Amino acid sequence: MSAKVIQEERRGLILQLLSKAPQYTANEAIIHGHLFQMGCPTSWEVLKGEIVWLDEQGLITVDWPGGLAIAKITLRGLDCADGVTRYPGVATQPPFP
């Protein structure tokens, strides 16, 4: 699997997690653990980069209290996570329970 495909899958998994999280919000530690459980282990540095990228695209918003990322999915991100719309650089994911 190419690095680009893995990156797109990772971004899709992040959006899907946030779409199911309480208040559509999770911190980077929860996201990191979820990626590991879903078979997509990710370094902290790469995860921060993905969070910043998703924020720049308007798919999530991020607060950084004390340097810890707290991500919240946007309506645009929800549409992408649910497969209603497609966004370049983000893989469409099958639903998870």
**Does the domain formed by 3-81 have CATH 1.10.10.10?**
yes
pLDDT, tens only, 35-69:
999 999 999 999 999 999 999 999 999 999 999 99
Q: Can you state the percent helix, strand and coil of the chain, rounding each to 5?
A: 55, 10, 35
> Which one has a higher pLDDT value, 75 or 93?
75
pLDDT(95) > 60: no
The residue written with tokens 């329970």 in the block is 97
Its pTM stands at 0.92
